[in-house]
Amino acid sequence: MEQEHKRRVRYAGTHPRTFQEKYKELNPEKYQQEVEKLLRKGKTPAGMHIPICVEEILSFLEIQPGQIGLDATLGYGGHSRRMLEALRGKGHLYATDVDPIESEKTRQRLEQAGYGPEILTIRQMNFSQLDQVAPGVLFDFVLADLGVSSMQIDNPARGFTFKQDGPLDLRLNPTEGVTAAQRLRELDREELAAMLVENADEPYADAIAGAIWKRRKSGYSIDTTRQLAETVESALAFLPQKERKDGVRKACQRTFQALRIDVNSEFEVLYQFLEKLPLVLKPGGKAAILTFHSGEDRLVKKSFQAFARQGIYEAVAKEVIRPSPQECAKNPRARSTKMRWAIRSHLPFP
């Protein structure tokens, strides 16, 4: 029996609204012109991630053919591709990503571009395990981009966005750990407020935690992104009308950020990564890290400075490097980016 042919679901009107309807954006190889139009408008096409601070990273790393490097956060592969280009077919790039869905897509994309296993090794693992990526190998350069990829943010099925409804998940690896919905059922009111402050500097932490707790005590769970956004909005009903819309939007962003950090233990794994980083760098090896909020930046800054005082790093960034105004205009998601760097000294690790 022949299977009935089904046409692709088309969107009504002139513009796609849901993630699934954006089939042209999700297939950039086939619909290159449409994707380029969006990029020229400063928008990030669905299913794509635009790498940030590429020129600043390459300028600092000064990658030479024959070197061995690590992209600790592969994502869409934009940074990796440029680093592979700099190697010019000589040397090797290792890359890790905790997301099994996106890392496989990126592996296929880079392989089609001519970067196969002879020059690129991708491992699906957390970047805190960087000492296990290639045991016995020391790297000339290491890059870590701590931002969540646009592919994850834009897909409502992953639970990272409150702009469209979806399951409240927020796991970078959707096959492991507990979801954000489950975490909201586990934490008490005080723990919720502390998490919002510690992970996102949320000024309305007590009010939001109280609203979540009140909803739970009334017998209603928070299982979707829309339900969490509505709970945050109800918590901020006291804001003046003219301030409410913007205030709720920013509070939702911070609340989702705080939950995502908690669900994925992001501060803990970043601390482990920073502690192991000098162990995998060659003498004179360079490391660059992109951060996207103050908590991450503080951890990186303190670690770099502490190892510099011990002589483990011979030089570290005294000031953060930010993307240019031109890059921020083209890619608004770059605005909060900070880059810090460190250079490994020739002293042995204590």
- So what's the pLDDT on residue 10? 55
Strand ranges (DSSP E) for the chain?
A: 68-71, 92-96, 120-123, 139-145, 281-291, 313-316, 338-344
Tokens representing residue 244 in the block:
């409410």
Hey, where are the domains in the chain?
1-43, 54-150+267-344, 173-263
Q: Tens digits of per-residue pLDDT, 32-73?
A: 555 455 555 555 555 565 889 999 999 999 999 999 999 999
> Taking the model in full, what pTM does it have?
0.83
- So what's the pLDDT on residue 75? 87
Tokens representing residue 307 in the block:
């190892």
CA–CA separation, 65 vs 130, rounded Å?
Answer: 22
Cβ count within 10 A of residue 100:
14
- So what's the pLDDT on residue 155? 75
Q: What kind of architecture, by CATH, is found in domain 54-150+267-344?
A: 3-Layer(aba) Sandwich (3.40)
Q: What is the CATH number of domain 173-263?
A: 1.10.150.170
Q: Tens digits of per-residue pLDDT, 225-268?
A: 999 999 999 999 999 999 999 999 999 999 999 999 999 999 99
Q: Give mean pLDDT, residues 93-118.
A: 93
**Is 173-263 the same fold as 54-150+267-344?**
no
- Closest by CA to 340, choosing from 306, 310, 304, 312, is 304
Query: Is 80 exceeded by the pLDDT of residue 287?
Result: yes
